[in-house]
Structure 1
């Protein structure tokens, strides 16, 4: 999940909240939406290659 911050940057959050804190994990902050989408694709690729 990508959200735009007040600073104008984009942050990737995990899709499911953490069970202990009940908040979503921060998976990285990026200057552009394209960079955030690229990193999200890399995360999905890594998760499914085992």
Structure 2
């Protein structure tokens, strides 16, 4: 899940909330939406290969 921050950057969050904190894990902050989407694709590839 990608959200735009007030600073204009984009942050990638995990899909499932953390069991301990009930919040989504921060998986990285990126300058562009395209960079965030690319990293999300890399994460999904790594999880399934």
Q: What interval of TM-score do these two structures reach, taking the shorter chain for normalisation?
A: over 0.9
Matches of 2:43 and 2:11, distance apart in 1: 13
2:40 matched to which residue of 1? 40
Normalized against structure 2, the TM-score is what? 0.98
Number of aligned positions between the proteins: 49
Cα RMSD (Å):
0.3
Unaligned runs of 5+ in 2: none
Deviation beyond 4 Å, 4+ runs, structure 1? none
2:2 matched to which residue of 1? 2
Normalized against structure 1, the TM-score is what? 0.96
> When you count strand as a share of all residues, which structure comes out higher?
2
Matches of 1:27 and 1:46, distance apart in 2: 14
- Which secondary structure does the structure 2 equivalent of 1:25 belong to? strand
